[in-house]
Amino acid sequence: MDLSTEQQAILRGEKGTLLQKCMQTLVKYGDFFNAQKLIPTKSAHLVLSGGSIILRTYLGILENMTAEGIQFAVPTTVNPRLTMEHLGIVQKIAQRYLFQKDNQFRHHFKKMGGIETYSCTPYLGDNTPQQGDILAWAESNAVIFANSVLGAKTNRNSGIIDLISAVLGVTPLMGLLLDKNRRANWEIIVDAEEIDYAVLGYVIGEKVKDGIPYIKGLHSTADDFKNMGAAMAASGGVGLYHIEGVTPEAVQVKDALLLPDCQTLTVTDSLLKKVQENLGHGRKKVKTVFLGCPHLSYTELVHVTKLLEGCRTKKGVNLWMNSSPSAIGKFNQSDYFEEFEKTGAVLMSLCPLAFLQLPSLRNRWILTNSGKLRYYAPVYYAPLKECLREAVGGDING
Ligand code: F3S
C-alpha cells in the first residue's frame, strides 16, 4: 500500500504503540482488499455504543486509548445508548448487569472528543454528510442512507475498523468508495400502488443479498427511504441503492449506473402483501409496540402524534417510541408535545434491538413497524397504523 510520510511514521511506532497497532490493523485490512492507499475521511460514526458486558474487549481498547491521550481525528458521533428508565424492577436489575459499563463507555468516548449524539440516524442532522464525502461508518442503516440518499461514500465497516478509522482519520480506498463499484447489478421495478417501505426493503434485501439495486418507480420521502434502507441492509447486506430520478447518483448518471448484465426483479402489490403477512404471521396478544428502529425523525414524531390525537394507549400495552436526543429535544419544544403527552406513549432514545437482550422482553409479544428489528429479533411486524391501532386498542386518526 502506498502510505504517506506521516502514515509511515505512525506505522513505525513514532506516535506510540497503540496508534502503531491501529495503523497496522488498517493497513492489513486494506491490503486484504487490494486497497492502494488510505484516504482522509470527513467523519466517523461509532456503532458499538453503550457498555454491554459483551463489549469488554472494545471497552478495554477505548480505555487504553484514553490512557495514551488519543483523540478522534475527525468529528465522531455514536449509536444509541442501551439503558432506559421505563422498566420494572426485574428488568432494571437485568439492565444494570447487562449494560453495567455504560458510564465507562461515556467517559472514554467524551474524553476522546466524541460528540454525544446517541442515535443511529446521525444523517438526519447530528452528522449529515455532503455528496461525495468520504466516511468510515459502521451502523448499517446509516451507511446505506449516507451512500444512497446523500451520495456520500462509505463502506460497511466493522465496529473495530470504524473506531480505528476514527482515531486515524483515514480509511482504505476500496469497495463502495470507488465509483466503479457503485454501479447496480440489480434492476428493481416497483409496480405497486400501496408501498410499505419497510417491507419493500425487506423484499429487495432478501433478493439482492449484498448487491446494489437500481430501483424504478419510487418517489417518496427521506423517512420512507430511511425505513426501506434499514430493512434492506438487514435482510440482505446492501450498503447502497439507487432510485431512478431521485438519489444523487441516479439523477446524475441515470440508467448508465446499471451494469449491462444486471438481473431484474419486479415488485408487485401481491408480493408486498404476501411478505407483509408472513412477517406478522402468528402474532399473539401484543404487550409492547416498538417504533423507531432506526430512530424516528422529528417529522415522524409529529406524524405519529397526529395519528394518535384523542387516543390513549390501552391498559397493559406499552407504546415505546425511539428517536434521537436531538429530535426529541426539538419535539419537546414543539406545539405537538402537549398532545403527545396525552397519548400514553413513551419517548426514548435507546436501541430496541439491544434492549431485547433483557430476558423478560425476549418473548413473542412485541410488535414493530421496523423491517430491521423484525429481521434480527423475535418480534412481529405490522405497518405503522396497525401498530398504533394495536397500542390504543381501537381506531386512530387516518
Ligand atoms: Fe438503530 Fe438499534 Fe435499530 S441502532 S437501526 S435502533 S437496531
The alpha carbon of 294 and the centre of ligand 1 are apart by a number of angstroms equal to 5
Q: Which amino acid is at 105?
A: F
The preferred substitution site among 77, 120, 121 for testing ligand 1, maximizing ligand atoms within 8 Å of CB, is 120
Q: What is the pLDDT of residue 94?
A: 62
For the beta sheet containing 213-216, the strands, ordered from the edge strand earlier in sequence to the opposite edge, are 242-243, 213-216, 184-191, 258-268
Q: Is the pLDDT of residue 56 over 90?
A: no
Within 10 Å of residue 325's Cβ, how many Cβ atoms?
17
Average pLDDT over residues 282-293: 92
Beta-carbon-side half-sphere exposure of residue 262 (alpha carbons within 13 Å): 21
Percent of the chain with pLDDT over 90: 84
Q: What is the pLDDT of residue 88?
A: 61
Residues 199-218: pLDDT tens digits?
A: 999 999 999 999 999 999 99
User: 321 CB less than 6 Å from ligand 1?
Assistant: no
Question: Which of 31-45, 90-104, 281-295 is most confident?
Answer: 31-45
The alpha carbon of 215 and the centre of ligand 1 are apart by a number of angstroms equal to 24
User: 80 CB less than 6 Å from ligand 1?
Assistant: yes
Within 10 Å of residue 17's Cβ, how many Cβ atoms?
10
The alpha carbon of 83 and the centre of ligand 1 are apart by a number of angstroms equal to 13
Q: Which atom of ligand 1 is nearest to the CA of 322?
A: 6
The alpha carbon of 293 and the centre of ligand 1 are apart by a number of angstroms equal to 5
User: 124 CB less than 6 Å from ligand 1?
Assistant: no
Q: What is the pLDDT of residue 48?
A: 86
User: 293 CB less than 6 Å from ligand 1?
Assistant: yes
Angle at 227 between CA 214 and CA 212, to 5 degrees: 25
Residues 175-194: pLDDT tens digits?
A: 999 999 999 999 999 999 99
pTM score, whole prediction: 0.96
Q: Is the pLDDT of residue 364 over 60?
A: no
- Residues constituting the chain: 398
Question: 264 φ, ψ to 5°?
Answer: -125, 140
Q: What is the pLDDT of residue 82?
A: 73
Return the minimum-mean-pLDDT range out of 3-7, 98-102, 123-127, 313-317. 98-102
User: 372 CB less than 6 Å from ligand 1?
Assistant: yes
The preferred substitution site among 351, 366, 379, 381 for testing ligand 1, maximizing ligand atoms within 8 Å of CB, is 351
Under the phi-then-psi rule, with left for phi > 0, alpha for psi from -120 to 50, and beta for the rest, what region is 50?
left
Q: What is the pLDDT of residue 181?
A: 98
Q: Which atom of ligand 1 is nearest to the CA of 230?
A: 5
Q: Model confidence at 363, in pLDDT bands (50, 70, 90)?
A: low
- Inter-residue contact 76 to 166 (CB < 8 Å): yes
Beta-carbon-side half-sphere exposure of residue 278 (alpha carbons within 13 Å): 11
Q: Is the pLDDT of residue 83 over 70?
A: no
148 to each of 266, 267, 292, 329, 379, how far by Cα in Å? 20, 20, 20, 27, 28
Residue 342 has which C-alpha cell? Answer: 396525552
Q: Which residue has the higher pLDDT, 354 or 296?
A: 296
Please name the residue whose Cα sits nearest to atom 1 of ligand 1.
294
Q: Which residue has the higher pLDDT, 97 or 223?
A: 223
The alpha carbon of 308 and the centre of ligand 1 are apart by a number of angstroms equal to 24
What number does CATH give the domain 5-177? 3.30.499
Under the phi-then-psi rule, with left for phi > 0, alpha for psi from -120 to 50, and beta for the rest, what region is 131?
beta
Average pLDDT over residues 360-370: 79
Q: What is the pLDDT of residue 356?
A: 77
The alpha carbon of 111 and the centre of ligand 1 are apart by a number of angstroms equal to 25
Average pLDDT over residues 228-255: 97
C-alpha R_g of the chain: 21
* Beta pairing, strands 76-78 & 170-172: unpaired
Examine domains 5-177 and 282-392 and report if their fold is the same.
Answer: yes
Q: Is the pLDDT of residue 131 over 60?
A: yes
Q: Model confidence at 362, in pLDDT bands (50, 70, 90)?
A: low
The alpha carbon of 176 and the centre of ligand 1 are apart by a number of angstroms equal to 22
User: 81 CB less than 6 Å from ligand 1?
Assistant: no
What ranges do the domains of the chain cover? 5-177, 183-275, 282-392
The alpha carbon of 79 and the centre of ligand 1 are apart by a number of angstroms equal to 8
Q: Model confidence at 118, in pLDDT bands (50, 70, 90)?
A: very high
Percent of the chain with pLDDT over 70: 93
The alpha carbon of 345 and the centre of ligand 1 are apart by a number of angstroms equal to 19
Q: Which atom of ligand 1 is nearest to the CA of 350?
A: 6
User: 353 CB less than 6 Å from ligand 1?
Assistant: yes
Q: Which fold has domain 282-392?
A: Aconitase; domain 3 (3.30.499)
The preferred substitution site among 353, 357, 375 for testing ligand 1, maximizing ligand atoms within 8 Å of CB, is 353
User: Residues 6 or more apart from 332 whose CB is under 8 A from it?
Assistant: none
Q: Is the pLDDT of residue 95 over 70?
A: no
Q: Is the pLDDT of residue 338 over 90?
A: yes
Sign (positive/negative) of CA torsion 239, 245, 248, 250? Answer: positive
Please name the residue whose Cα sits nearest to atom 5 of ligand 1.
294
Residue 214 has which C-alpha cell? Answer: 437500481
Q: Model confidence at 152, in pLDDT bands (50, 70, 90)?
A: very high
